Amino acid sequence: MNKPPTSDRSSSVLPLQVGAVESMSLEPTSYVTADNVLHGEPAERGTLVHTSGDGSFLVGVWSAEPYAETFPAGYPGDEFAQVIEGRLTLVDPDGSSQTFSAGDSYVMTKGWAGSFQVDTTFTKYFVLHLS
């Protein structure tokens, strides 16, 4: 992915509208770690709308084809996401699960160690804080 744009939060307002995703150029990304994939081929794509100067705060769009992965070392940060398209099932280590579809939002906390299952072609807005 190209170097993400940065903005001075005191002088920039960056709109994120659901219908605007269709006009965004999504490029191949490599967030998914191959060793963590349980099945499927994510064919992930995305774009960053904003990243902080230190790279710890990211805002963007991410899309993937059906696949599943685990986070044995825990999720790397705190993330808020709004599902734009598709369906995602998050399975906790105890086996309980939650499914999210277009229009739903969720928060994954740093250290979460379950499985991330993209059930259908999936697109989300995300806000990720890495610490």
User: Which pLDDT score is estimated for 131?
Assistant: 85
In the predicted model, is pLDDT for residue 14 greater than 50? yes
The answer for residues whose C-beta is within 8 angstroms of residue 62's C-beta and 6 or more apart is 29, 31, 44, 45, 46, 123, 124, 126
Structure tokens at 34: 């191959």
Global confidence as pTM: 0.86
Question: Has residue 22 been placed in a domain?
Answer: no
- Decide which of 24 and 108 is more confident: 108
Residue 86 near residue 123 (C-beta atoms within 8 A): yes
User: Which pLDDT score is estimated for 15?
Assistant: 74
Q: What is the DSSP letter of 2?
A: P
- What burial letters (b/e) apply to 43-56, b meaning 16+ CB within 10 Å? ebbbbbbbbeeeee
Indicate which CATH number applies to the domain containing 34: 2.60.120.10
- The enclosing H or E element of 108 equals strand 105-108
CA gap 3, 72 in Å, rounded: 28
For the segment 35-91, what is each residue's pLDDT rounded down to a tens digit? 999 999 999 999 998 999 999 999 999 999 999 999 988 999 999 999 999 999 999
In the predicted model, is pLDDT for residue 18 greater than 80? no
Q: How confident is the model at residue 92 (pLDDT cuts 50, 70, 90)?
A: very high
Name the burial class of residue 88, with classes exposed (0-12), middle (13-18) and buried (19+) by CB atoms within 10 angstroms of its CB.
buried
User: Which pLDDT score is estimated for 79?
Assistant: 98
β-bridge mates for residue 116, sequence order: 69, 90
Question: Has residue 51 been placed in a domain?
Answer: yes
Q: What's the number of domains the chain is made of?
A: 1
> Which domain does 60 fall in, by range?
27-130
Question: Has residue 18 been placed in a domain?
Answer: no
Question: Has residue 111 been placed in a domain?
Answer: yes
Which amino acid does the sequence have at 2?
A: N
Residue with tokens 């960056």: 14
